[in-house]
């Protein structure tokens, strides 16, 4: 059985994009550090690449990057870091998590070494714990909403009242589709409640969770004649919000019961699981839910009235709120809040029926949410096509793929573009989404399906105008994005001075043929007999040599770039190697400088605690941060996993041999 240095688990509420983006980032970050890793994903199709007990036991550390329950209790006792999935979407962020996990204590607490602020974060804030439980419910609920909403929407293809046997456009097949879709939609709140509870109290919490969810949609039944509680009466449900409250209530009641029943002999565990837990928890949760039904119904109605008031304020106010929320974090908590609100309103709309004011508002709101989610990836597609020369080939390819993602309502494809330049890219995305939402509301578009993007166009009322609203938002945002990239591109070109040839530094004592122009490591940039008192002295030496060699224009700026990267997480590897890297506009060409210190550089944190003997320093122009930088870094990290490579570079005193060995691995 293979052993891994790092094991990880990733999961996001929808299980579509963030889950796998975090997986890729963690794998790349581990490769940079010469570590092996296995990442288990909790996506919408279920658990993939599942970790075995032996793999968990053999791992040095664990990284959990998830906004849903990934059964982290399996990792108890292992050094571990647990954060939200959004904290692991870039290679640098993922690398920092790996470093913290390796430095964490190997017990049930999760804390990083020598960093109090990190300790607090790694123990998981109360807010993140609550969000994780909530998103576990949302992720299970969404599939019911999508299936039920789309089936209901398809039934409308035969006519808006085709499900009604008294209507002229009645169709029996359409009626059956609407029945099936309605059943799926009605399960939305019970499933939400049950899986919030399950995330907290595990399997025993499912029973009270489902009961709480059913009470949330039915309310407290009252006899209309007597005004008293009556099983045959009818109540006012308190829906989505009630399901959330019920889920948390059910989960924590189970935890309390576990403590209360902890004195019962282990031989009666079967009795607890099949009798005591479901009986007591259902009674407690049911009574509390029925008792709070009145206040909860009032709160629920108040929320609906608030949303209606936003709609009454005009399309600009409502559309601006929807657009900004959906594009703010593109699949994160704020985006999910807007989307969950839209699905709740859609469920209420479909229940109210076609032609009602509730139906019109809910389906219009859903159309605006969908438009806002579709726009950001389409902005990137427009930008990479119109302003191709301002983007790297990697970004261009990603932008083209985003055409498919955007058209199918997957917003997350725009995240890599935003993380590179949060300002002003985030405001640009929010503006484009807001324009699309405002126009969607203004055009009176109605979308009875909660997901699917342009795939559900046949059931969207005023579909052509909806597409037009989305295209306008995408084009406006795309033009602004191209304008920013053009400005940034031209600024970087002006900032890069023309490199002047200089004499080779005296430290390069070995004469050898000049390296080819394509080689990143030139013989004169390999220093085999240095003696550094500290990490910073070594990095300062590299920074000054970069200026002497015409690679950079300002040694202080380069030094600061090196230190900024070290502050994010050490670049010290294992067996005496380090890969410091600096990305800066003061660097005029991509290059590699190698320094060797036989006695070892102390004070440079490494994976195995050994001093650094060889530093392979990467110097990358700012404009190539996401392309050349990652290419060289991954190649060097991969090379360091080769024992022969390490032995040659570490053992040789021939600058030409070292340069040739490293260049061969950078091809």
CA atoms within 13 A on the CB side of 42: 21
Looking at the structure, do residues 422 and 529 belong to the same domain, yes or no? no
CATH code for position 101: 3.40.50.2300
Nearest to 65 by CA among 46, 45, 90: 90
The yes-or-no verdict on residue 144 having pLDDT over 70 is yes
**pLDDT average, residue stretch 618-624:** 84
Looking at the structure, do residues 410 and 546 belong to the same domain, yes or no? no
Amino acid 15: pLDDT: 56
Positive/negative CA dihedral, 496, 501, 507, 509? positive
Nearest to 603 by CA among 570, 579, 629, 581: 570
Rounded Cα gap, residues 356 and 46, in angstroms: 38
Mean pLDDT, the chain, integer:
84
Q: Is residue 307 part of a domain?
A: no
Concatenated DSSP letters of 386-408 = HTGGGS-HHHHHHHHHHHHHHHT
**pLDDT average, residue stretch 379-393:** 91
Amino acid 310: pLDDT: 77
578 contact partners, CB below 8 Å, separation of at least 6: 571, 572, 601, 604, 606, 612, 614, 615, 616
Rounded Cα gap, residues 406 and 306, in angstroms: 30
Q: Please tell me which residue, 334 or 592, carries the higher pLDDT value.
A: 592
536: tokens are 């910073």
CATH code for position 624: 3.40.930.10
55: tokens are 């793999």
11: tokens are 């999961």
Rounded Cα gap, residues 527 and 507, in angstroms: 6
Residue 128 is among the residues annotated as catalytic for this protein: no
Q: Residue 200's Cα: distance from chain center in Å? A: 22
Q: Which tens digit of pLDDT belongs to each residue from 465-504? A: 999 999 999 999 999 999 999 998 888 777 654 444 444 4
216: tokens are 């949330």
Q: Please tell me which residue, 556 or 498, carries the higher pLDDT value.
A: 556
Cβ count within 10 A of residue 278: 18
CA distances from 451 to 18, 92, 179, 321, 462 (A): 17, 32, 19, 20, 17
Looking at the structure, do residues 274 and 378 belong to the same domain, yes or no? no
Rounded Cα gap, residues 72 and 266, in angstroms: 24
92 contact partners, CB below 8 Å, separation of at least 6: 29, 568, 569
CA distances from 380 to 383, 432, 554 (A): 5, 11, 34
Q: Is residue 303 part of a domain?
A: no
What's the pLDDT band for 331 if we cut at 50, 70, 90? low
CA atoms within 13 A on the CB side of 30: 23
Pairing of strands 80-83, 37-43: unpaired
Helix/strand/coil for 237: coil
Cβ count within 10 A of residue 6: 24
DSSP letter assigned to residue 33: T
What's the pLDDT band for 117 if we cut at 50, 70, 90? very low
Q: Is residue 204 part of a domain?
A: yes
Helix/strand/coil for 296: helix
Rounded Cα gap, residues 21 and 59, in angstroms: 22
Can you give the residue range of the structural domain that contains 476?
Answer: 314-491
Backbone phi and psi for residue 581, each to the nearest 5 degrees, phi listed first = -145, 140
Burial class, 481, CB count within 10 angstroms (exposed 0-12 / middle 13-18 / buried 19+): buried
Looking at the structure, do residues 253 and 369 belong to the same domain, yes or no? no
**pLDDT average, residue stretch 494-521:** 47
CA distances from 131 to 46, 64, 254, 598 (A): 20, 15, 19, 50
Cβ(190)–Cβ(210) below 8 Å: yes
Q: Which tens digit of pLDDT belongs to each residue from 416-458? A: 788 677 889 999 999 999 999 999 999 999 998 887 789 789 8
**pLDDT average, residue stretch 381-386:** 95
Report the number of distinct structural domains present in the chain.
4
Residue 581 is among the residues annotated as catalytic for this protein: yes
Cβ count within 10 A of residue 532: 21
Q: Please tell me which residue, 99 or 418, carries the higher pLDDT value.
A: 99
Cβ(236)–Cβ(251) below 8 Å: no
Rounded Cα gap, residues 155 and 214, in angstroms: 26
Cβ(254)–Cβ(278) below 8 Å: no
Q: Is residue 52 part of a domain?
A: yes
Looking at the structure, do residues 70 and 203 belong to the same domain, yes or no? no
Alpha helices in 187-276, H assignment, sequence order:
188-201, 206-218, 239-260, 269-271
- Which of these ranges, 269-278, 330-339, 598-607, has the smallest mean pLDDT? 330-339
Query: Which of the residues 12, 280, 326, 407 is marked catalytic?
Result: 12
Burial class, 164, CB count within 10 angstroms (exposed 0-12 / middle 13-18 / buried 19+): middle
Backbone phi and psi for residue 614, each to the nearest 5 degrees, phi listed first = -130, 125
Cβ(37)–Cβ(65) below 8 Å: no
Looking at the structure, do residues 487 and 548 belong to the same domain, yes or no? no
Name the most confidently modeled range: 124-128, 146-150, 328-332.
Answer: 146-150
Positive/negative CA dihedral, 210, 370, 388, 621? negative
Rounded Cα gap, residues 147 and 163, in angstroms: 18
Q: Which residues of 431-456 are buried (b: 16+ CB within 10 A; e: fewer)?
A: bbbbbbbbbbbebebbbbbbbbbbeb
Domain end residue (candidates: 71, 94, 122) = 122
Q: 461 - beta bridge partners? A: 446
Looking at the structure, do residues 13 and 38 belong to the same domain, yes or no? yes
Give the position of tokens 């306008």: 472
The yes-or-no verdict on residue 294 having pLDDT over 70 is yes
Amino acid 511: pLDDT: 38
Domain end residue (candidates: 122, 141, 166) = 122
Rounded Cα gap, residues 310 and 301, in angstroms: 14
- Which of these ranges, 10-14, 86-90, 627-631, has the smallest mean pLDDT? 627-631
Q: Is residue 239 part of a domain?
A: yes
The yes-or-no verdict on residue 327 having pLDDT over 70 is yes
Rounded Cα gap, residues 492 and 585, in angstroms: 6
Alpha helices in 219-314, H assignment, sequence order:
239-260, 269-271, 277-291, 293-312
**pLDDT average, residue stretch 360-366:** 93
Looking at the structure, do residues 366 and 344 belong to the same domain, yes or no? yes
Looking at the structure, do residues 454 and 484 belong to the same domain, yes or no? yes
Domain end residue (candidates: 122, 149, 181) = 122
Q: Where in 44-130 does DSSP place strands (E)?
A: 46-48, 61-66, 80-83
346 contact partners, CB below 8 Å, separation of at least 6: 145, 149, 362, 363, 365, 366, 448, 450
Nearest to 591 by CA among 505, 657, 659: 659
Alpha helices in 123-238, H assignment, sequence order:
126-155, 172-186, 188-201, 206-218
What's the pLDDT band for 124 if we cut at 50, 70, 90? low
Looking at the structure, do residues 484 and 525 belong to the same domain, yes or no? no
Q: Is the pTM of this model over 0.85?
A: no
Looking at the structure, do residues 481 and 541 belong to the same domain, yes or no? no
Looking at the structure, do residues 355 and 289 belong to the same domain, yes or no? no
Q: Is residue 514 part of a domain?
A: no
Q: Is residue 504 part of a domain?
A: no
Nearest to 349 by CA among 622, 145, 191: 145
The yes-or-no verdict on residue 345 having pLDDT over 80 is yes
Query: Which of the residues 42, 133, 581, 629 is marked catalytic?
Result: 581
């Amino acid at each position: 059985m293979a052993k891994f240095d790092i094991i990880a688990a990733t999961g996001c509420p929808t299980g579509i994009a963030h889950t796998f983006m975090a997986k890729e980032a963690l794998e790349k970050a581990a490769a940079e550090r010469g570590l092996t890793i296995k990442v288990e994903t909790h996506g919408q199709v279920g658990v993939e690449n599942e970790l075995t007990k032996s793999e968990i036991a053999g791992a040095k550390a664990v990284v959990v990057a998830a906004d849903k329950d990934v059964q982290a209790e399996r990792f108890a006792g292992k050094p571990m870091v647990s954060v939200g999935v959004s904290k692991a979407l870039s290679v640098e962020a993922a690398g920092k998590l790996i470093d913290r996990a390796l430095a964490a204590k190997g017990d049930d607490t999760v804390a990083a070494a020598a960093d109090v602020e990190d300790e607090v974060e790694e123990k998981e804030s109360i807010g993140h714990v609550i969000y994780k439980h909530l998103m576990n419910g949302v992720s299970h609920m969404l599939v019911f909403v999508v299936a039920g909403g789309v089936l209901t929407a398809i039934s409308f293809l035969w006519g808006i009242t085709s499900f009604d046997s008294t209507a002229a456009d009645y169709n029996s097949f359409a009626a059956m589709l609407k029945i099936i879709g309605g059943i799926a939609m009605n399960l939305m709140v019970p499933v939400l409640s049950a899986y919030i509870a399950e995330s907290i109290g595990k399997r025993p919490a499912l029973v009270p969770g489902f009961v709480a969810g059913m009470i949330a949609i039915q309310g407290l039944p009252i006899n209309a004649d007597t005004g008293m509680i009556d099983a045959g009466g009818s109540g006012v449900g308190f829906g989505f919000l009630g399901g959330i409250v019920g889920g948390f209530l059910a989960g924590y009641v189970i935890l309390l019961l576990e403590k209360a029943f902890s004195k019962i002999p282990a031989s009666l565990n079967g009795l607890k699981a099949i009798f005591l837990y479901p009986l007591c928890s259902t009674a407690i949760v049911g009574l509390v839910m029925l008792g709070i039904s009145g206040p909860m119904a009032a709160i629920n109605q108040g929320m609906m009235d608030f949303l209606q008031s936003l709609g009454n304020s005009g399309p600009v106010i409502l559309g601006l709120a929807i657009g900004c929320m959906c594009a703010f974090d593109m699949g994160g908590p704020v985006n999910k809040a807007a989307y969950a609100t839209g699905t709740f309103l859609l469920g209420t709309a479909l229940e109210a029926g076609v032609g009602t004011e509730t139906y019109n508002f809910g389906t219009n709101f859903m159309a605006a949410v969908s438009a806002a989610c579709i726009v950001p990836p389409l902005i990137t597609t427009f930008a990479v096509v119109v302003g191709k020369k301002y983007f790297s080939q990697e970004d261009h390819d990603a932008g083209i793929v985003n055409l498919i993602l955007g058209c199918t309502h997957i917003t997350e494809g725009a995240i890599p573009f935003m993380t590179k330049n949060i300002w002003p890219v985030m405001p640009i995305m929010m503006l484009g989404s807001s324009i699309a939402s405002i126009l969607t509301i203004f055009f009176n578009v109605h979308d009875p399906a909660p997901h699917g993007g342009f795939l559900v166009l046949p059931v969207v009322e005023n579909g052509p105008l909806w597409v037009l609203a989305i295209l306008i938002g995408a084009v406006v945002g795309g033009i602004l994005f191209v304008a920013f990239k053009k400005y940034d591109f031209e600024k970087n070109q002006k900032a890069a001075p023309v490199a002047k040839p200089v004499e080779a530094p005296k430290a390069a004592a070995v004469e050898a043929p000049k390296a080819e122009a394509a080689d990143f490591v030139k013989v004169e940039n390999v220093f085999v007999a240095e003696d550094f008192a500290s990490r910073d002295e070594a990095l300062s030496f590299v920074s000054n040599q970069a200026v002497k060699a015409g690679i950079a224009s300002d040694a202080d700026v380069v030094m600061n770039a090196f230190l900024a990267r070290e502050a994010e997480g050490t670049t010290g590897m294992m067996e005496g190697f380090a890969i410091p890297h600096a990305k800066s506009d003061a660097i005029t060409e991509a290059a590699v400088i190698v320094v060797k210190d036989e006695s070892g550089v102390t004070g440079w944190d490494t994976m195995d605690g050994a001093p650094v003997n060889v530093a392979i320093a990467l110097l990358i122009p700012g404009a190539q941060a996401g392309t050349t930088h990652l290419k060289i870094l991954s190649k060097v990290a991969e090379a360091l996993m080769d024992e022969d490579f390490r032995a040659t570079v570490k053992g040789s005193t021939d600058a030409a041999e070292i340069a040739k060995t490293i260049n061969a691995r950078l091809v």
